[in-house]
Amino acid sequence: MTPAARVQAAIEIVDQVIDAATTGGAAADTLVQRYFATRRYAGSKDRRAVREHVYAAIRLCGPVPPSGRAAMLLLADRDAGVAAAFDGSTHGPAPIGADEPRATPGLAPTWLEAALIESGLPQDALPALVDRAPLDVRINPLRMTEALPEGEPLPHGLHGLRLPSGTRVETLDAYRDGAIEVQDAGSQIVGLALPVAPGDRIIDLCAGAGGKTLALGARMANQGLLLACDTDRARLQQLPPRAERAGVTIVEARLLNPGREREMLADAIGAADGVLVDAPCSGTGTWRRNPEARWRLDPTRLARFVATQAQVLATGAALVRPGGSLVYIVCSLLDAEGAGQVESFLADHPGWRVEPLDLPAGRPQGQGVRLDPARDGTDGFFVARLVAPC
C-alpha cells in the first residue's frame, strides 16, 4: 500500500468506528481486524501503519467527529506525512479543500470532560487518559519458569513485567506455559484490596474472562473455593481454559441469568469470606486502550451503569458472611460510579463499614482509593473495601 492508500484505509475504518460507537457496534480493534481480513494484499507494515493512523486520529478527537475524513484532517494538521497523503491519487484521499472542516479536538464530549473535573481529576491529568497504554503482564507464581520474556519490572513492587509495545504475548513460551497473564498494573493493584488466604471461600461476582479470578487463585495457593460468576456467556467461557493454563484448580465458573443473580446464588448467601465486585461501568479509566469508548457514553447510559452497580453491590453484600469483606472496583474515574456509589451503599446498608486500604499506588477518593494514568502510570480505577456487620 502507498502512504496515501494507508491514510484512505484509516479514513474508512474511522468511519466504521464512528458508526459503531453511535449505534452500539463492534470495538475499534475488531473493526480493524475485520477490515484487513478482506484485504489480504495488505502486509504487516501496512496494517501497523493504518492502525497507528486510526488510533492517532481517534485520540485527537473530543466529541464524535462528523466523519473519518474530518478526523484524519485533524491529524493531518499535526502530521506532515499524513497531510501529504491527501494527494488525490488512485487509492488515496482527495486533496484537502480550502476551509474544509476538521473534527473538534479535545479529551471527550464537553459534558463528560466536565464530569471528570467535577470528580476531582486535575485538568493537567486529563491528557494522560488517552495516552497509549503500556503492555503489562502478571507473573503467575503457580507456574514458575525460567522462560520469562525480557521486560522492565512493573512499578509499585508488583510481581510482573512491562513488555515492549507490540509484543505478541500469545506466541511466548511463558504465556503458553501459564507463567504470565496480560493484566494492567492497576488491575493487579486493585485486586489486592480483597484479603484472601488459603482455604477461603471467595466469590468473584463479575468475573468476565477471569483476569482477577486467576490472580486471586494464585494468592490463595490453590486452596479453598473460588466461585467465578458472570452474566456474559462468551466472556465467562474464556475462563476455564485460562485457569487450566495458569494451573488454578479451585475455580468454579457459574453463568448467571440477568435479574436472577441472587436466586442462582442461593447456596452462597451469607457464606463467602470475601466477594469481589468488579462492576460494569463507563470505562473512563481505560480510554488508553479503548479511546473510542468516549464516544459511546452519554448521560443516559451512565445512569444505567450507576443503577446496575448499585444492584450488583447489593447482590454481593448478601453473599458475604458476618465480618467478611466486599471489595468494590470500577475502571472509572467518575465519582458517580466510585465514591458516590459507596456513599449510597453505606446509606442503604446500616452496620456496614469501610476499611482503609494500604495499596502500593493510588490516592484517597471519598471512602476509597483512586488510581489514574497521570499519577500512577496505570489504567484508572476506583476501589473500596466494605466490611459486613458481625
Dist CA 93 CA 272 (whole Å):
59
Q: Which helix (H) or strand (E) holds 203?
A: strand 201-204
Dist CA 95 CA 170 (whole Å):
41
Residue of 61, 206, 229, 331 marked active site = 331
Short-list 192, 197, 203, 315, CA closest to 259? 315
* Other Cβ atoms within 10 Å of 20 Cβ, number: 18
CB 363 within 8 A of CB 370: yes
Dist CA 375 CA 134 (whole Å):
15
Beta bridge pairs of residue 277? 328
Collapsing DSSP to helix, strand or coil, 302 comes out as helix
C-alpha cell at 66: 462528523
C-alpha cell at 250: 479451585
Residue 284 Cα distances to 163, 189, 271, 288, 388, angstroms: 24, 18, 33, 9, 29
Decide if 390 is catalytic.
no
Residue 39 exposure: Cα atoms within 13 Å on the Cβ side: 17
Dist CA 200 CA 187 (whole Å):
21
List the catalytic residues: 331
